[in-house]
Amino acid sequence: MLGQPDDPRGIVVPLDGRPGGTETGAPERNGGPRPLRNGSPPPGPALLLSWAPTPAVDDDRTWATLSASSELARRLAPDAGRGPAAGLTFRLALPEAFGAEPLLRLAGGETAAAAPGSSALVPVAPTAPGDRHGAGLGLLTLTTAAEIAATGTQTRVLDELTAAVDQLAPSCVMRLDSRLRAAEESLREAQTELLERGSLVVDGAGTDSGSPSRGLETAVANLSVLRHQTHAWIAGWERAVAGADPSGMPGLALRDALGEVGKLGWTGFPAAVHGAYQALVLDARRILLTAADHLLRAPNRPLTALRPLVESDLAGRAADVARLHRLLTTLSTLPQTVRKRSGGMMPNLIADQAAANARSQALFTRMANALRSPVWDGRVVVEVRSLDSGELQVLRPI
């Protein structure tokens, strides 16, 4: 790679691993391909790597801190004998998400502005036989960008769901599944392990052993069970709504029908929605992380090989979240009536039922709004700051 920080240009690192010559192409942005030259095929997709001095202002954007010996530091180093220069902010931009689009559309997220300065297409030959430097760096960039966006959006959605229940249905019990909490911790540790070691395959001594860490194995097994449970719940709730009269249904009967699914009771319905959303997003994150680990341990494969490994499964998880959102949207617009008893009802009982109907309909609306689709601009960008200690700080988007 070009010397840092003496050379002010960014570089475009091929992601298909093809050997590059010494000729510098015309300046390009966002890693786009060059036009055909002399009838030869253009390079495949490429990662745009640029850097600039870190601003003096401490904006507290740190998402993760990595050691000076981490895999990401090794791949950002200008040569094998030293690490990245200190005091720089690196910007890594991919031209596409290579099959992770469903997860990023589900997660949304903001993109940091491009750093000023020119960039030139400088092909980079593999650093060692079979080592496709760009593909590995691209995988680390993609998984990190997806994790930052997904964890941020997941936290926002779950907080909004919890707040809605606390305000509108305080009698409902938000008892969360401990398997989800354990899976969340395992996935975050797995992302850190990927950035630190370039692999999720470890044993107790921290060496390659050929199998994932026990925590990740447990998370994968639990998420499989929770995914099937979530599918059953969503299908049951959809049947309950499909059987409702679109002109109006007694609110008490509707709440009973929703609570009958999984024998959770109405008081368990909000927590089940909370858990269903979390399980689907966690499983989508698991799909991308484990596929990236597979490719990082098969360095002869280009980054484009990721798409067939993840796109279909990620699209399925995103479709399930969309089903959950449509269900809540339908519930929020379904008229709820008061169930009258023969012989009439006391006015206070009618008022109580009407108030309960209003609260549950407001709850459905708040929950549907929490699951709204965020905006994703189609770009994949990660910023990393190098410290004097040699450590790297992965930054949240602005």
pLDDT digits (tens, 9 = 90+) for 170-196: 999 888 899 999 999 999 999 999 999
pLDDT band of 35, cuts 50, 70, 90: very low
Pairwise CA distance, residues 49 & 30, whole Å: 9
State the CB neighbour count (10 A cutoff) for residue 333: 11
Percentage of residues of the chain with pLDDT beyond 70: 78
- Residue 167 neighbours by CB under 8 Å, 6+ apart: none
For position 212, what pLDDT does the model report?
63
Residues 179 and 246 in one domain: yes
More confident residue, 275 or 344: 275
What average pLDDT does range 377-388 have in this prediction? 92
Residues 163 and 123 in one domain: no
* Helix, strand, or coil (residue 241): helix
Pairwise CA distance, residues 305 & 314, whole Å: 15
pLDDT band of 118, cuts 50, 70, 90: very low
Residues 48 and 167 in one domain: no
Spatial CA neighbour of 137 closest among 192, 188, 92: 92
pLDDT exceeds cutoff 80 at 357: yes
Residues 197 and 120 in one domain: no
For position 32, what pLDDT does the model report?
46
Q: How, if at all, do strands 46-53 and 10-14 pair?
A: antiparallel
For position 29, what pLDDT does the model report?
44
- Asked if the structure places residue 187 within a domain, the reply is yes
For position 13, what pLDDT does the model report?
82
- Asked if the structure places residue 2 within a domain, the reply is no
Strand partners, 14: 46
Residues 42 and 92 in one domain: yes
Mean pLDDT check: name the lowest of 55-59, 211-215, 299-303. 211-215
Residues 122 and 148 in one domain: no
pLDDT exceeds cutoff 90 at 312: yes
Mean pLDDT of the chain: 83
Residues 93 and 170 in one domain: no
Strand partners, 385: 89, 393
- Asked if the structure places residue 388 within a domain, the reply is yes
pLDDT band of 55, cuts 50, 70, 90: confident
Residues 92 and 142 in one domain: no
- Asked if the structure places residue 164 within a domain, the reply is yes
Count each helix (H run) and each strand (E run) in the chain, helices first. Answer: 9, 9
Under 8 Å between Cβ of 222 and 182: yes
For position 216, what pLDDT does the model report?
87
pLDDT exceeds cutoff 60 at 122: no
- Residue 85 neighbours by CB under 8 Å, 6+ apart: 4, 5, 78, 386
Burial tier of 33 (Cβ tally within 10 Å: 0-12, 13-18, 19+):
middle
Under 8 Å between Cβ of 250 and 336: yes
- Asked if the structure places residue 15 within a domain, the reply is yes
- Asked if the structure places residue 86 within a domain, the reply is yes
When mean pLDDT is compared over 39-53, 72-86, 211-225, 290-304, the highest value belongs to 290-304
- Asked if the structure places residue 232 within a domain, the reply is yes
DSSP 244: S
Mean pLDDT check: name the lowest of 259-273, 277-291, 331-345. 331-345
Residues 303 and 224 in one domain: yes
Q: How many domains does the chain have?
A: 2
Q: Which helix (H) or strand (E) holds 231?
A: helix 214-242
pLDDT exceeds cutoff 60 at 93: yes
pLDDT exceeds cutoff 80 at 293: yes
For position 339, what pLDDT does the model report?
72
Under 8 Å between Cβ of 76 and 384: yes
Residues 196 and 92 in one domain: no
- Asked if the structure places residue 1 within a domain, the reply is no
Q: Which two tokens stand for residue 324?
A: 């959950």
pLDDT exceeds cutoff 50 at 36: no
Mean pLDDT check: name the lowest of 6-20, 26-40, 138-152, 185-199. 26-40
Q: What value does the CA radius of gyration of the chain take, rounded to a whole number of Å?
A: 25
pLDDT band of 394, cuts 50, 70, 90: very high
Residues 156 and 274 in one domain: yes
Spatial CA neighbour of 308 closest among 326, 297, 294, 322: 294
pLDDT exceeds cutoff 70 at 153: yes
Under 8 Å between Cβ of 382 and 94: no
CA 176, 317, 159 angle in degrees (round to 5)?
A: 35
pLDDT exceeds cutoff 60 at 34: no
Under 8 Å between Cβ of 214 and 171: no
Q: State the residue range of the domain holding 56.
A: 10-131+379-395
For position 133, what pLDDT does the model report?
62
Residues 383 and 348 in one domain: no
For position 374, what pLDDT does the model report?
84
Buried b (16+ CB within 10 A) or exposed e, 375-388: ebeebbbbbbbbee
What average pLDDT does range 272-287 have in this prediction? 98
